[in-house]
């Protein structure tokens, strides 16, 4: 094994030890009394400024962890309460990226093309932007003329900056639960969408520089005791692009190599979370073509959504998994945060049974399609439905 490379796939049976382990993606609704945004500040910075804010933050984390424990989830997380809800600076996809050194933040688009544009091809970049300009799933202020409205430029060598803040957040949360705990974050390469290079003059080099710094943070996170790390929207959204147009083999290779650089040597189980948001079912989007490319990807768990698409692509996706990357484990989303109606547990149970035709129960985790942007009572109801569906399947077996 090459120096610095990751070991063989880390198994759910070793890290969780429960067949059909239950969890959710990451974002959990805040208690109404917690309304603070960290932007790019760390917990220690905020503590020095106003200790009452940190007291409220820690109390909110305790509440969302207790919610998840009482519901009966096998794997819990901090609810991603570090994500900004009002400010765009530290929102979901910027949350780690905004803390990286060597970058300058802009309100409005500076001159130049984003680094991701050349890597996934200009046509693919336009397609992704045009689809998402009509939905509120990703950027806080989507707009085709200046999408997104917060941009960054690379002004000097990319450095670690304040990424240790994410490790601080984890360390604050872990004493509050005895359950298996997962840390969820947007993949750092996603930051290439609002990033313009003025230093490296090589877009691929920029992406690898980002990956190297995130690798340092993930390594520290694992050393702090984090055993499960989930990276959302990896490979710069190629799972979207592959539904719109053929992706060149060298494009897959570059972005898989960047992901592998990001997780190299990280002693934790790595989940790749592929999602489409509310557009997945309406546009008929599948992860099948992406899964075919993942043989060399150093992830341990491939996580796909099934509830938003009503399982339309589950057979094709798991057939591709079995043929191309069955050394990895699987997680499927069986509850949608976009369907606001109460759900019959039989519906997610049916998706689980279909997945079990391809995947052994000890190699399959059950989750939500995405994070929750709904009310806390509704999120609790959704997760109780998920847990009940898993219980029905376990009992029947």
Q: Domain extents for the chain?
A: 12-85+159-190+199-396
**Mean pLDDT of all residues in 362-368:** 98
Scanning the structure block, which residue is given the tokens 């719109």? 244
392 pLDDT higher than 80: yes
Rounded CA-CA distance 121/128 in Å is 11
Integer angstrom CA distances of residue 112 from 98, 151, 196, 251, 359: 19, 11, 6, 21, 46
- The DSSP symbol for 46 reads H
β pairing state of 150-159 and 101-107:
antiparallel
Integer angstrom CA distances of residue 56 from 30, 33, 50, 79, 297: 11, 8, 11, 14, 39
Q: Give which of 85, 260, 75, 277 is closest to 184, Cα–Cα.
A: 75
**Mean pLDDT of all residues in 326-339:** 94
144 pLDDT higher than 80: no
**Mean pLDDT of all residues in 343-347:** 94
Rounded CA-CA distance 36/47 in Å is 13
User: C-alpha 140: how far from its chain's center?
Assistant: 17
Pick 280 or 169 by higher pLDDT: 169
User: How sure is the predictor about 30, in pLDDT bands with cuts at 50, 70 and 90?
Assistant: very high
Residue 132 confidence (pLDDT): 62
Question: Rounded to the nearest 5°, which phi and psi values hold at 140?
Answer: -65, -30
User: How sure is the predictor about 283, in pLDDT bands with cuts at 50, 70 and 90?
Assistant: confident
55 pLDDT higher than 50: yes
Helices (H) and strands (E) in the chain, counts: 14, 11
Of 147-156, 163-172, 194-203, 211-220, give the lowest mean pLDDT range: 147-156
Each residue's pLDDT tens digit, 187-207? 999 989 899 999 999 999 999
- The DSSP symbol for 388 reads H
Does the pTM surpass 0.75? The reply is yes
**Mean pLDDT of all residues in 355-375:** 96
Of 84-93, 272-281, 366-375, give the lowest mean pLDDT range: 272-281
279 pLDDT higher than 90: no
Q: Give which of 301, 295, 297 is closest to 330, Cα–Cα.
A: 301
**Mean pLDDT of all residues in 67-87:** 96
Task: State the CATH class of domain 12-85+159-190+199-396.
Answer: alpha beta
Residue 202 confidence (pLDDT): 96
**Mean pLDDT of all residues in 340-366:** 95
Residue 133 confidence (pLDDT): 57
- The DSSP symbol for 243 reads H
| Range list of β-strands (E), 9-86 | 21-22, 75-76
Each residue's pLDDT tens digit, 207-240? 999 999 999 999 999 999 999 999 999 999 999 9
Q: Which tokens in the block code for residue 247?
A: 């992706």
Residue 368 confidence (pLDDT): 97
Residue 7 confidence (pLDDT): 66
What percent of the chain is modeled with pLDDT above 70? 93
Three-class secondary structure of residue 205 per DSSP = helix
Rounded CA-CA distance 336/25 in Å is 11
Half-sphere exposure of 167 (CA within 13 A, CB side): 17
**Percent of residues in the chain assigned helix, strand, coil, to nearest 5:** 45, 15, 40
Each residue's pLDDT tens digit, 111-141? 999 999 999 988 888 877 776 654 333 443 3
Neighbours of 158 (CB within 10 A): 24
User: C-alpha 92: how far from its chain's center?
Assistant: 9
What percent of the chain is modeled with pLDDT above 90? 79
DSSP assignment of 114-174 equals: BHHHHHH-HHHHHHHHHHHTT-SSS-SS--TTSSSSEEEEEEEEEE-TTTHHHHHHHHHHG
Each residue's pLDDT tens digit, 285-321? 899 999 999 999 999 999 999 999 999 999 999 999 9
């Amino acid at each position: 094994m090459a120096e610095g490379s990751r070991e063989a796939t880390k198994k759910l049976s070793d890290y969780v030890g429960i067949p059909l382990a239950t969890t959710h993606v990451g974002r959990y609704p805040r208690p109404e009394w917690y309304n603070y945004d960290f932007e790019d500040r760390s917990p220690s910075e905020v503590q020095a400024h106003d200790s009452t804010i940190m007291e409220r933050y820690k109390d909110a984390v305790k509440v969302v962890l207790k919610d998840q424990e009482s519901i009966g989830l096998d794997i819990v997380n901090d609810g991603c309460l570090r994500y900004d809800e009002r400010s765009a600076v530290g929102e979901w996809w910027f949350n780690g990226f905004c803390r990286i050194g060597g970058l300058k933040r802009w309100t409005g688009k500076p001159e130049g093309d984003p680094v991701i544009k050349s890597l996934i091809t200009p046509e693919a970049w336009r397609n992704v932007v045009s689809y998402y300009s009509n939905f509120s799933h990703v950027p806080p202020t989507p707009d085709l003329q200046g999408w997104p409205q917060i941009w960054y430029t690379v002004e000097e060598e990319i450095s670690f900056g304040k990424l240790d803040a994410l490790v601080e957040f984890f360390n604050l949360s872990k004493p509050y639960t005895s359950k298996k705990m997962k840390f969820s974050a947007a993949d750092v390469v996603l930051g290439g969408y609002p990033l313009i290079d003025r230093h490296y003059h090589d877009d691929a080099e920029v992406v690898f520089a980002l990956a190297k710094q995130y690798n340092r943070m993930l390594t520290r996170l694992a050393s702090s005791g984090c055993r499960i790390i989930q990276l959302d929207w990896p490979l710069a959204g190629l799972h979207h692009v592959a539904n719109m147009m053929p992706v060149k083999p060298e494009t897959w290779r570059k972005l898989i190599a960047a992901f592998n650089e990001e997780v190299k040597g990280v002693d934790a189980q790595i989940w790749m979370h592929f999602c489409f948001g509310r557009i997945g079912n309406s546009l008929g989007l599948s992860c099948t073509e992406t899964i075919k490319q993942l043989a060399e990807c150093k992830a341990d768990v491939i996580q796909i959504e099934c509830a938003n698409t009503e399982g339309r692509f589950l057979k094709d996706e798991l057939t591709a998994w079995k043929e191309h990357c069955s050394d990895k484990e699987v997680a499927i989303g069986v509850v949608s945060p976009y369907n606001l109606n109460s759900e019959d547990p039989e519906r997610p149970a049916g998706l689980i049974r279909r997945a079990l035709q391809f995947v052994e129960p000890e190699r399959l985790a059950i989750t939500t399609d995405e994070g929750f942007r709904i009310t806390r009572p509704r999120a609790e109801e959704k997760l109780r439905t998920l847990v009940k569906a898993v219980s029905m399947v376990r009992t029947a077996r």
